[in-house]
Structure 1
Amino acid sequence: AGGGEIDISKVNLEELEAQGLPKADIRKILRQQRQARWQQLMSSKPDDKYEDPTDVAAIEEANTMMGDYKLKTDPDYVVPEHLRINADKKRRQMVLLEESIYTIKMAFNDRFLALPDPG
């Protein structure tokens, strides 16, 4: 090419174009830069068997702190007795709701009758 050797690790596209190099040489140099950066990155990559101690500790803590959750979609899942819904529980729930509705209606009627007469 042109003058002396070029240190490809420290040049950028604008500098290469300013030196008047052919585009093929510029692409080759940039490709070499990318390859060198890739090699540097891959050499700093940890071993596949390496486990970060903070990650291992976090996983251990999660395993010890997490409860035993049953999946409701599991074929062996049995609904616990206190969570089962039966007719008696629903009847009791409906009675409580009717009482609540009655209380709300009575409170409204009391407030309505307490209003001053407009006429």
Structure 2
Amino acid sequence: MKNLLLGWAAGLTSLIIAGAGMSATLAGSATTETQRLSFAAMVLGCYAAIVGVIVTERSDRTRLRCLLWGGGVPVLVGWVTTLVVTVDAGLGAGLVAGSPWLVGPLLVTLIGRRLPGFHPYRWIRDRLDNR
């Protein structure tokens, strides 16, 4: 449960930060193409999923756990995107809009066990102990 909450919190935080940067970048554009937005959604989904996995314990990772820990936030965002676009433009457009978010969970399911672990709180604690 600790790894699940840690993975989701890290994934959500990274998604908010990266999404704010992407929003600021797109604000200066006069037009926005749907292909560009789909690619950005795919990259954001992969980024949030990878961050959600690397903050967890590497020895505890299985394919299912990688999917749960790293894929939870992108899947949730994909479902919300699908629902919002479906209400506005129909089911086909909703499924197309939500599908790029599923690339990240698929990616961490395949390579999540090989990703390194990143535990900055341990590094800081160890540095303070060695003073």
TM-score normalised to structure 1 length: 0.28
TM-score normalised to structure 2 length: 0.26
- Higher RCO (C-alpha under 8 Å, 6+ residues apart): 2
As a proportion of its length, which structure holds more helix? Answer: 2
- Computing the radius of gyration from Cα coordinates, the structure with the larger value is 1
